[in-house]
Structure 1
Amino acid sequence: MPLIKLHKVQEVVENLSRKLNTKNFVEILHISNAINRIILEDVIATMDIPPCDRAVLDGFAVQSIDVSYASTETPAILKLCSKPCRKLKPNTAMKVSTGDELPINADAVVPLEFTEVRNSTLYVFKSVSSGYGIARKGEDVRKGEVIVRKGTILRPWHIAALASQGISKVRVLGKVKVAIFSTGSELIEPGSTLPKGKIYDTTRYIIASSLKELRFNIIDMGIVPDNEELIRDYFIKALNIADIVISSGGTSIGERDLTVKAASSLRNLDYFVHGINLIPGRPAAFGIFNGKLIACLSGYPVAAFVELQMVLLPALFKALNIEPPTLGIRTMAKTRRKIPIKIGMINVVRGIVYDMCGSLEFEPLRITGSGILSTLLKSNAILIVTEDSMGIEKNEII
């Protein structure tokens, strides 16, 4: 294949993010409707939670030193306050219920089952230490701390934290309209009988599913045959109905690779590049048309998935000034064998991390193979090798 001029991934991400118009990407939702959405701003606590020292069980607020010797044989004897008091005096107690604010000087709550009331006197039959049965002011959340960071996918506990601060609405990533179509006369839809010389379209589905996880609004435009004029018409139609347009297939420079030719022929392109220093995913093309992002991804599912995760989504989230949600946790491991790489390229290596009695080891599944979907099915880890690396040796810590 003739060489394609390769552009650095980070430069492409930077250029796309600066030119992308994100005005339609922001939505303000009530927290009850914001589950699994990506929040676009840090949320700072405006109050302590709890806002004061509170009882976490039913019992009697006391000063722990007054009951330090209490036992069944020698109970502590305290005067019971006849009504709620603001400040607790030594050798006195005040009845409290779960959630009640504690009086000043009270540093423990004695459970009801450890006590007996006789007239206005409280008998305590078991000692409790300072802090027992109470939640301190700010113990859960401190005023001024970040309780939800921008870029977080909101889960039920985040929603509860927002509610605890009295917050009812948040700015989240909207259901961005993404039009997707595949190109290739050899493609047919899953569910159809497979004629000789045809293959099922898998790449469109891995792209759409990846974006649906982020709650994007997918407009599925199906399959387009290898016809440059028809592909160009699909781009124009997609740009009229969506914020982002993604095609798969036809990104190389063979006779039937017409997608990039069709996309680059669009008038008023603000930016367009073909070829990035990414393995797999080198022949991808990206552009901006009137502030809308165009992505011509590989027809191979693994390469398209890598292009999506390494270029398109980072550009989108950078434009929104947030970190992309991570696919998993970052960790370190020792390589089980030498990993050959393409120098000067960002190499995305699929593999398996094994836990060897607390020591992690990484086994690459396959270095090449943009269409080998099984490498994603079998892998539990992805190694991203930066472009300045000269190679990965056996037993190297990565």
Structure 2
Amino acid sequence: MAQLSDDCFAFGGDLMPVDAALDSLRTRVVPVTGTEAVGLADALGRILAEDLTAPFDVPPHANSAVDGYAVFFDDLAADAPTRLPVTGRVAAGHPLGRAGRRGEAVRIFTGAPMPDGFDTVLMQEDCRTDGDAVLIPPGIKRGANRRAAGEDVRAGSVVLTAGRRLRPEDVGLAASLGRRTLTVRRPLRVAVFSTGDEVREPGAPLEPGCIYDANRFALMASLRQLGCAVTDLGILPDRLDAVRGALERAAAAHDVLITSGGMSTGEEDHVKAAVESLGSLHFWRLAIKPGRPVALGQAGGTAFVGLPGNPVAVMVTFLRVARPILLRLMGAAAEEPNLFSVRAGFAYKKKAGRREYVRARLARGDDGRPTALKHPRDGAGILSSMVESDGLVELPEDLTRLEPGAAVAFLPFSEVR
């Protein structure tokens, strides 16, 4: 079960700034327990559960960075070509078997271990052979084209820290240390559901007044991309007993329950009553657009997240609010997505005291600088605007008017996926 401190979602009163809400959550939400060992092929996207320390240097031996000739630098003339006999050959995986000797050169190939003593490598393109000897031009620097042992990783150093969400390069680095498995956090178990008599499964007949359930599928895709183990509870009927029963069963086997919409206080909105009957629920009114109403609470010992009903508001609040909560529950180290300074290609007015996210795509200006172009349709129900955008322009609480050409913070979708 998700480990949540008492009243961890109890926020009320005036609209809460986004940063204040996230700071509070970071201190109150405790990661779930449980780890498992997985093979490297299955480690991508998982949360590392323990520090990974290098047991040896990488590379474990000095080696050549090029195809060429290994020599002693002190054997080379400073202002004239040097002729040295070629007395051996070293290829990757095939050491010379002895130390180098002064006054000789050995043929060496990229990645091959440097014999002891040799400190410099000449590229073959810069040399000329003369029978069993090589002619080396002057001007090379001492240590050229020689990679040192431990140049990549030093023995005893921590190369990956616990809480890291593993990327392809992390998996490759673990492999370079000889690891076949890694200890990671178990996947966060998340149950997703929708409610509403107007909501239909994609592909089903669409009666007048009904809509297809886009939010649930967008949420499940976002959760799987985050590395969660997702259970689809489908569309629950608009009956309190049915909603309560489904949530009670799901809470017993999951860490998080998540939905969108249906969280008002109307007599047909049963999710609120169902969650409260199983635990506690608090409405968290964020100073954010699109978004604002986010319901957070607990059904038994299981966290509950209720997002807004409009598709764009669902996506924005998932990326900026739910995602940090889920990562914290997953045991991930705090990771703030990178926002990049770009030029605004549009004018905009907004209310003070509210953070707003504007959908935009990037284009190159005449001077080559990236410019954010606002999507022409900005309704909270226009999901196609997310598809046709590259990310979100983040406008801070104290801004009320944006002029074209001003610098703005841009959050690429790639930073939160």
| 2:320 is equivalent to residue 313 of structure 1 | no
Whether the 8 Å contact between 2:290 and 2:380 is mirrored in structure 1 is yes
What is the letter of the counterpart of residue 343 of structure 1? Answer: A
What is the letter of the counterpart of residue 340 of structure 1? Answer: K
| 2:362 is equivalent to residue 353 of structure 1 | yes
The corresponding residue for 2:7 is none
The corresponding residue for 1:215 is 227
Instruction: Give the drift of 1:282.
Output: 1.2
The corresponding residue for 2:214 is 202
Matches within 5 A, 1:9-28: 9-24=18-33, 26-28=35-37
The corresponding residue for 1:106 is 119
Q: What's the TM-score, normalizing by structure 2? A: 0.79
Instruction: Give the drift of 1:249.
Output: 1.7
After superposition, the Cα gap between the structure-2 partners of 1:40 and 1:342, relative to the gap in structure 1 and judged at 3 Å, is: farther
Three-state SS of the structure 1 residue aligned to 2:178 is coil
The corresponding residue for 1:31 is 40
Matches within 5 A, 1:241-280: 241-267=253-279, 269=280, 272-280=282-290
* 2: CA distance, partners of 1:20 / 1:32: 30
Stretch of structure 1 that moved more, 386-395 or 375-384: 386-395
Instruction: Give the drift of 1:110.
Output: 6.2
* 1: CA distance, partners of 2:364 / 2:123: 47
The corresponding residue for 2:334 is 323
Whether the 8 Å contact between 1:67 and 1:124 is mirrored in structure 2 is no
What CA deviation, in whole Å up to 9, does each residue of 1:22-58 have, x standing for no partner?
3346433232321233435554545432233213566
The corresponding residue for 1:77 is 84
Whether the 8 Å contact between 2:84 and 2:135 is mirrored in structure 1 is no
Instruction: Give the drift of 1:158.
Output: 2.3
* 1: CA distance, partners of 2:107 / 2:347: 69
Instruction: Give the drift of 1:203.
Output: 0.4
Identity percentage over the alignment? 27
Instruction: Give the drift of 1:292.
Output: 2.3
* 2: CA distance, partners of 1:102 / 1:203: 62
What CA deviation, in whole Å up to 9, does each residue of 1:252-311 have, x standing for no partner?
3445433223323323x3x63343222112122011344421011122221111221112
* 2: CA distance, partners of 1:242 / 1:381: 31
Three-state SS of the structure 2 residue aligned to 1:284 is strand
The corresponding residue for 2:244 is 232
Instruction: Give the drift of 1:150.
Output: 5.6
| 2:61 is equivalent to residue 52 of structure 1 | yes
After superposition, the Cα gap between the structure-2 partners of 1:22 and 1:212, relative to the gap in structure 1 and judged at 3 Å, is: same
Instruction: Give the drift of 1:14.
Output: 4.5
Stretch of structure 1 that moved more, 171-180 or 33-42: 33-42
Matches within 5 A, 1:19-168: 19-24=28-33, 26-40=35-49, 43-56=52-65, 60-67=69-76, 76-78=83-85, 80=87, 84-86=97-99, 88-89=101-102, 91-94=103-106, 98-108=111-121, 111=124, 114-115=128-129, 118=132, 123-127=133-137, 129-130=140-141, 131-143=143-155, 147-148=159-160, 152-168=164-180
Stretch of structure 1 that moved more, 8-17 or 168-177: 8-17
* 2: CA distance, partners of 1:351 / 1:200: 26
What is the letter of the counterpart of residue 395 of structure 1? Answer: G
The corresponding residue for 1:369 is 379
After superposition, the Cα gap between the structure-2 partners of 1:255 and 1:365, relative to the gap in structure 1 and judged at 3 Å, is: farther
In structure 1, runs of 5+ residues without a counterpart are none
Q: What's the TM-score, normalizing by structure 1? A: 0.82
The corresponding residue for 1:380 is 390
Whether the 8 Å contact between 2:29 and 2:328 is mirrored in structure 1 is no
**Aligned Cα root-mean-square deviation (Å):** 3.4
What is the letter of the counterpart of residue 293 of structure 2? Answer: P
After superposition, the Cα gap between the structure-2 partners of 1:221 and 1:79, relative to the gap in structure 1 and judged at 3 Å, is: closer
What is the letter of the counterpart of residue 259 of structure 2? Answer: S
* 2: CA distance, partners of 1:336 / 1:175: 41
* 1: CA distance, partners of 2:351 / 2:53: 44
In structure 2, runs of 5+ residues without a counterpart are 1-11, 90-95, 409-417
After superposition, the Cα gap between the structure-2 partners of 1:279 and 1:110, relative to the gap in structure 1 and judged at 3 Å, is: closer
After superposition, the Cα gap between the structure-2 partners of 1:22 and 1:289, relative to the gap in structure 1 and judged at 3 Å, is: farther
Whether the 8 Å contact between 2:165 and 2:332 is mirrored in structure 1 is no
Three-state SS of the structure 1 residue aligned to 2:75 is helix
What is the letter of the counterpart of residue 332 of structure 1? Answer: S
After superposition, the Cα gap between the structure-2 partners of 1:189 and 1:4, relative to the gap in structure 1 and judged at 3 Å, is: farther
1:288 to 285, 298, 314: 298
After superposition, the Cα gap between the structure-2 partners of 1:208 and 1:167, relative to the gap in structure 1 and judged at 3 Å, is: same
What is the letter of the counterpart of residue 290 of structure 2? Answer: P
What is the letter of the counterpart of residue 345 of structure 2? Answer: R
